[in-house]
Amino acid sequence: MKKMLLCSLVLVSVFANAQQTSTVKNIIPVPASVTEKPGTFILKNNFSISAPNDADAMNVAKQLSAALSAPTGYAGTIKNSGGNIQLQLLSATDNTIGNEGYKLSVTSKAVTISANKPAGLFYGMQTLLQLLPPSIESKTTVANTNWTIPCVEITDEPRFGWRGMMFDVSRHFFTKAEVKQFIDDMVKYKYNLLHWHLTDDEGWRIEIKSLPKLTEVGAWRVNREGKWANTGNPFPNEPKTYGGFYTQDDIKEVIQYAKERYVTILPEVDVPGHSLAALASYPELSCTPGPYEVSSGAPFMNWFNGGHEGLIDNTLCPANEKVYDFLDKVFTEVAQLFPFEYIHMGGDETAKNFWAKSDQIKALMQKENLKDMNEVQSYFVKRVEKIVESKGKKLIGWDEILEGGLAPSANVMSWRGMKGGITAAKMGHQVVMTPTDFVYMDYVQGEPSVEAPVYASLRLNKAYQFEPVPDGVDPKLILGGQANLWTEQIQRYRTVQYMMWPRSLATAECLWSPKEKKNWNDFANRVQNQFPRMDAAGIRYARSIYDPIIKVKDFKGSPEVSISTEIEGLDVYYSIDESIPDNYFPKYSKPIVMPADAEHLKVITYKNGKQVGQLISLSIDQLKSRERGED
């Protein structure tokens, strides 16, 4: 009996140690330095948190107490000293952790987070929460859980200061509460900047008191549901019932909410293109006579290989002085609202074909000695830069602002690959890297046949390959990077989450963690271990990591299907006889040549004997389309 009891205790100890090790190794983004220690700290009722007599540090303590109390049901107290969870601001600056870094020490008796600044305490708190069981993310009490934290020593700091997420609230409007939820979701993984895309063709979302029509008219459009860009133009006098905007009080509330979570907000007013909402409100700002309507999804741009042109003019007129008076009013109020040093002017995808036909533009070109439409846009950007600088702010824009000559002090957000950022950096301008290749979160993320149709794909593995500093570029000029979410096809916040997670975990690690710490297989395992945490938090996420990658080529007139997986450890099973496969069906091991009488290929993935992927069913026509490169 004693031997059996001893064996049981050993097994329990081994299991507990395995649990401890896996918890420490599940952290995203991976810390700079981790040293695991034996033992655990047990969180108990009446836990106490001590923090210095500093308003910001106390605010972190209150947030930590709330995060611990809600799922555990435990009562916690906050005091200035003697807590079993201690938040400490260092009296002497520790140069190894900077302003956002931290040191986290967990022993069996106490938890200590130390930092130079309160921001570091906040990020240390995020790591601490990831060391607890996944149920810690629950908003309600979870019974029968051992709230243990493995003993560990962590030293950590971010690689980049600009760790952003862009949220497009113009194409579809999201409420103030949803914007706050977006902030809550992002800070869990140490993002610190919200790029708020507030204006576009589909809606103007920020109150400008001196220009009331922007929200009276520009914030509203006719309601269209179904597939985006598959809708017709508004009927005459059709009610404009879809939309919304943020009052200036709303904006201030969100800014304060973000500040308390160490998130800076970058406002974007997208000009001179993407301006239909502004033109619907003030049509006299165009080079082209109206009438104008806020876009409800009907196509208004012709895209072709290597360029685009407008079907209607959605641009502000660079030759119209009223435009600069208008922008002066807009940026005056934006600058007064947002404390961040930058304002984003957009500047992307300007359809210049209407400018080329405008007598006003031709006169401007002659007067200012402008050679082409790119120089016309550059003229506009430089005028906007002077307006923004007159408000005490710095200008940043998408990489098109390089065309025709970059404004003297402007900084660049490089989205069309890395090229624009490289060019700007070599000119001495600061750059935020946000290339479509790696960080566009509205792209298809898994098997295209079961995802919303989008023109491009970005799987998690590709997102994890993001390296913000290109070879040959001064790293000091790369501020950082960000993940971008455009919402043309995203109408609900649950879909926002589905598109952002888990791919934004990849961007988070690329921006926070040391470059040499990146390891795809390790990251992929940590991502899967984050899923229970997201389940507990009620965050929707995509399980596309389990989708097989299906490629097709012709084999003597028949589709030959090759299947691979994004992560290790997946088994793929399939059927070609219209049955629904499970793990007793044929296991994929070599390319499948589809028989002439087959109508569908059905595929499913398993891991460790359990189904993890969704059923994928592709018809022969779909396979042949993929063979031709049409899918």
DSSP code string of 365-379: HHHHT--SHHHHHHH
Q: Is residue 180 part of a domain?
A: yes
Given 489, 518, 541, which residue is the final one in a domain?
541
For the cut 90, the answer to whether the pLDDT of residue 12 exceeds it is no
CATH value at residue 435? 3.20.20.80
The pLDDT of residue 22: 57
C-alpha 574/C-alpha 602 separation (Å) is 5
Q: Are residues 204 and 182 in the same domain?
A: yes
Residue 509 tokens read as 């690690």
For the cut 90, the answer to whether the pLDDT of residue 471 exceeds it is yes
User: What is the DSSP code (8-state) at residue 191?
Assistant: -
- Per the structure, the count of domains in the chain is 3
Q: Are residues 487 and 341 in the same domain?
A: yes
Q: Are residues 124 and 17 in the same domain?
A: yes
Q: Are residues 418 and 528 in the same domain?
A: yes
Q: Are residues 15 and 143 in the same domain?
A: yes
Nearest 5°: the CA angle 263, 269, 273 is: 140
C-alpha 218/C-alpha 295 separation (Å) is 10
Q: Are residues 553 and 523 in the same domain?
A: no
Lowest mean pLDDT among 16-20, 376-380, 433-437, 444-448: 16-20
Query: Do residues 83 and 49 touch, judged by C-beta distance below 8 A?
Result: yes
Given 129, 156, 183, which residue is the final one in a domain?
156
Q: How confident is the model at residue 18 (pLDDT cuts 50, 70, 90)?
A: very low
- How far is residue 319 from each of residues 285, 289, 311, 373, 398, measured CA to CA in Å? 10, 14, 21, 12, 22
Q: Is residue 353 part of a domain?
A: no
- The residues facing 78 across adjacent strands are 49
Q: Are residues 503 and 460 in the same domain?
A: yes
The pLDDT of residue 629: 84
Query: Do residues 101 and 126 touch, judged by C-beta distance below 8 A?
Result: no
Q: Are residues 520 and 620 in the same domain?
A: no
Q: Residues of 431-455 as b/e, b for ≥16 C-beta within 10 angstroms?
A: bbbbbebbbbbbbbbbbbbebeebe
- How far is residue 148 from each of residues 37, 72, 135, measured CA to CA in Å? 14, 11, 11
Residue, of 224 and 32, whose pLDDT is higher: 32
- How far is residue 326 from each of residues 162, 360, 527, measured CA to CA in Å? 30, 18, 47
> Which residue type occupies 198?
L
The pLDDT of residue 300: 86
Q: DSSP letters of 114-160? A: EESSHHHHHHHHHHHHHHS-GGGG-SS---S---EEEEEEEEE--S-
Q: Are residues 558 and 510 in the same domain?
A: no
Query: Do residues 39 and 108 touch, judged by C-beta distance below 8 A?
Result: yes
C-alpha 416/C-alpha 467 separation (Å) is 15
Q: Is residue 317 part of a domain?
A: no
C-alpha 631/C-alpha 242 separation (Å) is 33
Given 156, 191, 225, which residue is the final one in a domain?
156
Q: Is residue 376 part of a domain?
A: no
User: Could you give the residue numbers annotated as active site?
Assistant: 349
C-alpha 506/C-alpha 566 separation (Å) is 14
- CA-nearest of 198, 196, 211, 227 to 296 is 227
Do β-strands 220-221 and 148-156 pair in parallel, antiparallel, or remain unpaired? Answer: unpaired
Q: Are residues 494 and 573 in the same domain?
A: no
Write a three-state SS string for 193-262: EEEEECEECCEECECCCCCCHHHHCCCEECCCCCCCCCCCCCCCCCCCCEECCECHHHHHHHHHHHHCCC
What would you report as the CA-atom Rg of the chain, rounded to the nearest whole angstrom? 27
Q: Are residues 63 and 200 in the same domain?
A: no
Residue 631 tokens read as 């899918």
Phi and psi torsions of 52, nearest 5° = -65, 165
Question: What pLDDT, in 10s, does the model give residues 305-319?
Answer: 878 899 999 999 999
The pLDDT of residue 290: 84
CATH value at residue 70? 3.30.379.10
Q: Is the pTM of this model over 0.75?
A: yes
- CA-nearest of 187, 167, 631 to 442 is 167
Query: Which phi-psi region, left, alpha or beta, contains residue 416 (left: φ > 0; alpha: ψ -120 to 50)?
Result: beta
Q: Reduce the DSSP state of residue 616 to 3 states and report it.
A: strand
Phi and psi torsions of 56, nearest 5° = -70, -40
Query: Do residues 450 and 492 touch, judged by C-beta distance below 8 A?
Result: no
Lowest mean pLDDT among 293-297, 379-383, 497-501: 293-297
Q: Are residues 230 and 341 in the same domain?
A: yes
The pLDDT of residue 189: 98
The pLDDT of residue 307: 84
C-alpha 28/C-alpha 130 separation (Å) is 8
Lowest mean pLDDT among 12-16, 269-273, 332-336, 565-569: 12-16
Query: Do residues 39 and 106 touch, judged by C-beta distance below 8 A?
Result: no
Within 317-470, where are the H helices? 321-337, 353-356, 359-368, 373-390, 419-426, 436-439, 460-463
Nearest 5°: the CA angle 244, 173, 217 is: 35
Q: Reduce the DSSP state of residue 102 to 3 states and report it.
A: strand
C-alpha 463/C-alpha 505 separation (Å) is 9
Q: Is residue 305 part of a domain?
A: no
Residue 532, H or E segment: helix 520-537
Write a three-state SS string for 39-82: EEEECCCCEEEECCCCHHHHHHHHHHHHHHHHHHCCCEEEECCC
The pLDDT of residue 14: 33
Do β-strands 558-564 and 549-555 pair in parallel, antiparallel, or remain unpaired? Answer: antiparallel
Q: Which domain holds residue 118?
A: 2-156
Mean pLDDT of the chain: 94
Q: Is residue 341 part of a domain?
A: yes
Residue 273 tokens read as 């293109």
C-alpha 284/C-alpha 323 separation (Å) is 9
Q: Is residue 365 part of a domain?
A: no
C-alpha 484/C-alpha 191 separation (Å) is 13
Q: Is residue 82 part of a domain?
A: yes
C-alpha 72/C-alpha 129 separation (Å) is 12
The pLDDT of residue 127: 98
For the cut 50, the answer to whether the pLDDT of residue 4 exceeds it is no
